[in-house]
Amino acid sequence: MRGQLILIEGLDRSGKSTQAGLLTERLAQAHSSQLYKFPDRSTPIGALINKYLTDSSFQLDDHSAHLLFSANRWELYTELLQALNDGKFVVLDRYIYSGIAYSLAKSSLKHASSELGDVDWLYSPDKGLPKPDLTLFLSLSIEELGKRKGWGQERYELEQFQKEVKSCFLRILDPSKDSTVHLVNVEGKSIHEVQQVIWDVVVEAGCDKLTELPVQKLD
Ligand code: FDM
Ligand code: MG
């Protein structure tokens, strides 16, 4: 029996880190559970990603940046798979859909025709990574997002960019094509209310219980 892999995706300030933490705690009431946040800035590749995000003078080709985020997920791959097979529940705060949506948004705003606008190209370096048993996308309006506190100085933390990222997320996360994908509307909801909605989806999907099914791969 193994633990399940649950992914929470969303825009900056959508509450995903808070909710990923709360979900990890809730799961821990019955099982052992662990939270992984991507990018993981503590690894060698993560340090480079951190420099890229926080230092606007640091130049990096967009394709290279995209591949670094994927390489960062592969750095944690063995550990993550081991955790699941050891019976741990793993909650992910961002994963491959952030990877695709942010790169796609860049390409769209630059009106550049390159591989960066090709979803298949963007997806390919992540092929083979564990596929989440459940993916939740926290959705809210750009208006409410703009009003939320805590906006920082990092690359990507700009309203126009977030708007583009949102539309890219909705392009690649389609619940009608993948039944493991759920959109959660967090507009106007409190932390507690969102937590309850998320928990209901997790239980409804049977993702609060150990499973015999092998871990799927992204293909
Ligand atoms: N981000 C995150 C990407 O561009 N690609 C990825 O693959 C991932 C996982 O990194 F703006 C972006 C999303 C965000 C930035 O993430 C830092 P956090 O969650 O704010 O640390
Ligand atoms: Mg951020």
CATH of the domain at 135: 3.40.50.300
Question: Which amino acid type is present at position 31?
Answer: H
Tell which one of 98, 123, 159 to mutate to probe ligand 1, the residue whose CB is within 8 A of the most ligand atoms. Answer: 98
**Is ligand 1 within 6 A of the CB of residue 126?**
no
In a domain, 209, yes or no: no
The larger pLDDT score, comparing residue 111 to residue 115, is at 115
Q: Whole-prediction pTM value?
A: 0.97
Please check the confidence at residue 113 and state whether its pLDDT lies above 90.
no
In a domain, 182, yes or no: yes
In a domain, 215, yes or no: no
Per-residue pLDDT averaged across 168-184, rounded? 97
Kindly give the distance from the C-alpha atom of residue 200 to the centroid of ligand 1, in angstroms, as a whole number.
27
Check residue 151 and give its pLDDT. 86
pLDDT digits (tens, 9 = 90+) for 190-206: 999 999 999 999 999 99
Question: Taking the CB of residue 64, how many other CB atoms lie within 10 A of it?
Answer: 12
Question: Which amino acid type is present at position 105?
Answer: A
In a domain, 200, yes or no: yes
Kindly give the distance from the C-alpha atom of residue 72 to the centroid of ligand 1, in angstroms, as a whole number.
11
Check residue 19 and give its pLDDT. 98
Helix 44-54 to helix 62-75 angle, to the nearest 10 degrees?
Answer: 140
In a domain, 90, yes or no: yes
Please check the confidence at residue 175 and state whether its pLDDT lies above 90.
yes
128: nearest Cα among 17, 217, 13, 15: 217
How far is C-alpha 217 from the chain's CA centre? Answer: 16
**Is ligand 1 within 6 A of the CB of residue 69?**
yes
Per-residue pLDDT averaged across 125-140, rounded? 98
Check residue 32 and give its pLDDT. 98
pLDDT band at 93 (very low <50, low <70, confident <90, very high): very high
**Is ligand 1 within 6 A of the CB of residue 94?**
yes
In a domain, 190, yes or no: yes
Check residue 9 and give its pLDDT. 98
Specify the residue for token string 């939740």: 136
In a domain, 20, yes or no: yes
Residue 189: domain span: 5-204
Q: What is the domain count for the chain?
A: 1
**Is ligand 1 within 6 A of the CB of residue 15?**
no
In a domain, 108, yes or no: yes
**Is ligand 1 within 6 A of the CB of residue 161?**
no
pLDDT digits (tens, 9 = 90+) for 4-49: 999 999 999 999 999 999 999 999 999 999 999 999 999 999 999 9
Check residue 111 and give its pLDDT. 77
